[in-house]
Amino acid sequence: MTASERPLTAMIGLPDGPPDCAAYGRAGGWQAVRRALRDMTPDAVIDLVTASKLRGRGGAGFGTGQKWSFVPKDPAATRRKYLIANADEMEPGTFKDRLLLEGNPLQLIEGMIVAGYAIQAGHGVIFLRGEYHLALDRLNQAIAEAHEVGWLGDNILGSGFGFEIHVHASGGRYICGEETALLTALEGRRAQPRSKPPFPQVGGLWGAPSVVNNVETLCNLPHIVTNGADWFRALGIGPDSGTKIYGVSGRVRRPGAWELPMGTPLREIVEHHAGGLRDGYRLRALLPGGASTAFLDAGQIDVAMEYGAVEKAGSRLGTGLAILLDDRTCPVGMLHNLEHFFAQESCGWCTPCRDGLPWVERLLQAIESGTGQPDDLDRLHDHARLLGPMGRTFCAHAPGAMAPLASGLNLFREDFEAHIRQRRCPLHATA
């Protein structure tokens, strides 16, 4: 792929590290800010992003331009607005935003300036995963330089629009990936989701209109404004627009992340880019978009990695980074590990999540350790049935936790029964 076909990563991996402001400009950076602030109205930027069909890259896939359009435009609402970049990347198996943050932080900064101008927000916040120490250092350095040379601050390019960016290092809770819990945490309170309405676009951070966008989403904006909506739509090879940072973890030869056209077949990602499974291992199943997506079996590996196709196959695109399960890894043990994480990361606000997820974890622990009972499978199915549907909890945490469990109970029924019957893990017993 040429640099124009992989715009997000074209400047990542340079010998001297991330580009500074001058090098970024020589490689085509800052053109979007110039065009937006000099030649476009805020509404025109929103219309352009809407026409590009850019969808959120954080997992939900909501239309970015449509999300921005909900921000009030009346004069009373223009006094205080916020744009927040969600860089709290804690989804197990997901590391795409880290690549962008460490590799080219100025791309995110330019995208935030464009987004801030579109919604007329004067303040931006990057809510960063606390463990991303290198990203924190590079973001702070890039922000300081951008401010020094005039890309941030008051009256950018003499346009009358000013924009500031601050980095907030998270205390380290998975729930902060939920946008309203993130806003609550930024306000210095316990990270818990909020009731909706009001939605953040109307009443968000400190009650002001706020937009929360994923890092990868924002990094697409400079390229859309510079090259146009038609160009961006043409990058995809299916119904979805643009490129996507896909990735693979598990027992493959080359685990990692790669920028590819939206709609790239999963088989190509696993076999060509990740090099296939290591010798002696066979693919059994996979989570296509992080830990909170449903399992697909090995026979579904030809699915196109786009929103509609993955949903039709019975899962979600999610973050687009797949976790592979091989034939020498216990699926019950894998599910126990996942559900331990979800139970530990529940914010505790609502009963189904606070009490249900630890119960699921205890049942899986019993089955994995050899003390499980046959009716434990019925209890697990009950939890998947009751906690799985959206709308029964305050946020999507519990439904996300149930996605791998419900699909795993169906795909790996024989493994569960063997654990209970033999009172041990069959794989560990023969290892």
Query: Which has the closest alpha carbon to 271: 311, 349, 324?
Result: 324
The answer regarding whether domain 243-326 maps to CATH 3.30.300.20 reads no
On whether the CB atoms of residues 294 and 407 are closer than 8 A, the answer is yes
Task: List every span in the chain annotated with CATH 1.20.1440.230.
Answer: 331-430
Report strand pairing: 82-87 vs 123-128: parallel
**Whole-number mean pLDDT of the chain?**
93
Q: Could you read off the pLDDT of 344-368 as tens digits, one per residue?
A: 999 888 898 999 999 999 999 999 9
Give mean pLDDT, residues 107-136. Answer: 96
Q: How far is CA 71 from CA 43, 115, 431, in A?
A: 11, 12, 57
Q: Could you read off the pLDDT of 372-404 as tens digits, one per residue?
A: 999 999 999 999 999 988 888 888 899 999 999
Give mean pLDDT, residues 39-46. Answer: 97
Query: Which has the closest alpha carbon to 371: 422, 332, 335?
Result: 422
Amino acid at 200: P
State percent of the chain over pLDDT 70: 97
Structure tokens at 206: 């400190």
Q: Quickly name the fold that domain 331-430 has.
A: de novo design (two linked rop proteins) (1.20.1440)
Provide the 8-state DSSP code for 278. P
The answer to whether the peptide bond before residue 197 is cis (omega within 30 degrees of 0) is yes
Superfamily of domain 3-235: NADH-ubiquinone oxidoreductase 51kDa subunit (3.40.50.11540)
DSSP string, 291-334: TTS--EEGGGTT-BSSHHHHHHTTS--TTSEEEEEETTS-HHHH
pLDDT at 79: 63
Give mean pLDDT, residues 163-186. Answer: 91
Place of tokens 């979007």: 32
Question: Distance between CA atoms of 415 and 411, rounded to whole angstroms?
Answer: 9
pLDDT at 431: 43
Task: List every span in the chain annotated with CATH 3.40.50.11540.
Answer: 3-235
pLDDT at 83: 97
In the predicted structure, residue 76 carries a pLDDT above the cut 60: no
Task: List every span in the chain annotated with CATH 3.10.20.600.
Answer: 243-326
Give mean pLDDT, residues 412-420. Answer: 96
